Amino acid sequence: MRPKKYYVYIMASKSRTLYVGVTNDLERRVTEHKRGLLPGFTSRYRVSRLVYFEATENVESAIAREKAIKCWRREKKVALIESSNPTWEDLSAEWLGGESKADPSLRSG
């Protein structure tokens, strides 16, 4: 049996409004954000591009990391994103059959 994975992720809007979350199914959760299925902050601000994620096998460490990142200043969050994704590409574009590539408004400016 494979160990369960937990993900801390950062989503961004076109204007680079950021959202930090945690999930045990990154593909499902990102799809929910992209399709506006989750009422609240991400649908209100059209936060729909996955720009950063990291995985762990421990739910407690994933939640602790999410809380830590949420407390960071914006500049530190941007530095984290740009350390692995300097162009703010949508890291989920390939998973969803190019869904985000079909809508140019979802690309970073």
Count the helices and strands in the chain (H runs, E runs).
4, 3
In a domain, 102, yes or no: no
User: For residue 97, what pLDDT is reported?
Assistant: 61
In a domain, 34, yes or no: yes
pLDDT confidence band for 102 (50 / 70 / 90): very low
For residue 14, the domain's CATH number is 3.40.1440.10
Q: Return mean pLDDT, the chain.
A: 86
- Residue range(s) defining the domain that contains residue 67: 6-97
In this predicted structure, the answer to whether residue 11 has a pLDDT above a threshold of 90 is yes
The domain tally of the chain equals 1
In a domain, 1, yes or no: no
DSSP 8-class letter at 3: P
In tens, the pLDDT along 48-78 reads 999 999 999 999 999 999 999 999 999 999 9
What predicted TM-score, i.e. pTM, was given to this entire model? 0.84
User: For residue 12, what pLDDT is reported?
Assistant: 95
Average pLDDT over residues 78-107: 74
In a domain, 81, yes or no: yes
What are the strands of the beta sheet with 6-12, ordered from one edge?
A: 18-23, 6-12, 49-56
One-letter amino acid for residue 109 of the chain: G
In this predicted structure, the answer to whether residue 84 has a pLDDT above a threshold of 70 is yes
